[in-house]
Chain A
Amino acid sequence: MSIIVRKDTRVVVRGITGNEGRFHTIAMKNYGTNIVAGVTPGKAGQVVEGIQVYDKIEDAVRLQSANTSISFVPAPFVKSAVLEDIEAGIQTIIIITEGVPQNDEIEFIARATKKGITVIGPNCPGVINPSLKIKIGIFPESIFKPGSIGIASRSGTLTYEIAWHISQSGEGQSTCIGMGGDPIIGLDFVKLLKMFKEDKDTTSVVLIGEIGGNAEEKAAQYILDSRYPKPVVAYVAGRTAPIGKRMGHAGAIILGDNGTAESKISAYRAAGVLVAEKPSDIVKLIKNKTAIKGV
Chain B
Amino acid sequence: MKLFEYEAKSMLQKYGVNIPQGKVAKSPGEVAAIARELGKPVILKSQLTVSGRSKAGGILPASDPEEAEKVAFSLFGIKIKGLAVKTLLVEEKLDIKRQFYASIAVDRQARSHVLLVSTTGGVDIEQVAKTFPQQIYRLHIDPLSGLTEIEAGKLVSLLGLNRDDSAVFVSILKVLYQVVLEKDAELVEINPLAQTSSGAYVAADARIAIDDNAIFRQPELFERNLKREEDTPREAEARKLKYSYVDLDGDIGIIGNGAGLVMATLDLVNLFGGKPANFLDIGGGAKLDIISNGVLLVIGKPEVRAVLINVLGGITRCDLVAEGIVVGLNSAPLKKPVVVRMLGTNEVEGREILRRNNIDYYPDMEKAAEAVVRNLGGNV
Contacts and interface: CB of A to CB of B under 8 A. Distances in A.
Specify whether A and B are partners.
yes
Contacts of A100: 213
A107 B143 contact: yes
Interface stretch (B4-12, B192-200, B254-262): B254-262
A252 B211 contact: no
Interface in A54-92: 75-76
Nearest to A212: B108
B271 A278 contact: yes
B260 A210 contact: yes
B218 to A, nearest CB: 10
A213 B113 CA distance: 14
A106 interface: yes
Contacts of B244: 246-248
A156 B344 CA distance: 14
A183 interface: yes
Interface residues of A, number: 67
A158 interface: yes
A237 B260 contact: yes
Contact of B314 (A138, A153, A237, A252): A138
Contacts of A184: 106, 108, 111
A218 interface: yes
Given A101-B213, A110-B143, A279 B365 contact: yes
A240 B266 contact: yes
Contacts of A280: 364, 366
Contacts of A237: 260-261, 263-264, 267
B282 to A, nearest CB: 10
B101 interface: no
A252 B90 CA distance: 36
Nearest to B2: A244
Contact of B267 (A105, A240, A252): A240
Given A138-B314, A237-B267, A278-B271, 11 more contacts: A102-B211, A103-B180, A110-B144, A159-B260, A160-B314, A184-B106, A215-B109, A237-B260, A249-B259, A250-B212, A252-B259
Interface of A: 20, 23-24, 75-76, 99-103, 105-107, 109-111, 113-114, 125, 138-140, 142-143, 153-161, 164, 181-184, 188, 208, 210-211, 213-215, 218, 235, 237-242, 244-252, 256, 277-280
Interface of B: 106, 108-109, 111-113, 126, 142-144, 180-181, 184, 186, 211-214, 216-217, 230, 244, 246, 248, 256-264, 266-268, 270-271, 276, 279, 281, 284-285, 312-315, 343-345, 364-366
Q: Which 4 A-B pairs have the closest CB atoms?
A: A248-B259, A155-B260, A157-B258, A158-B260
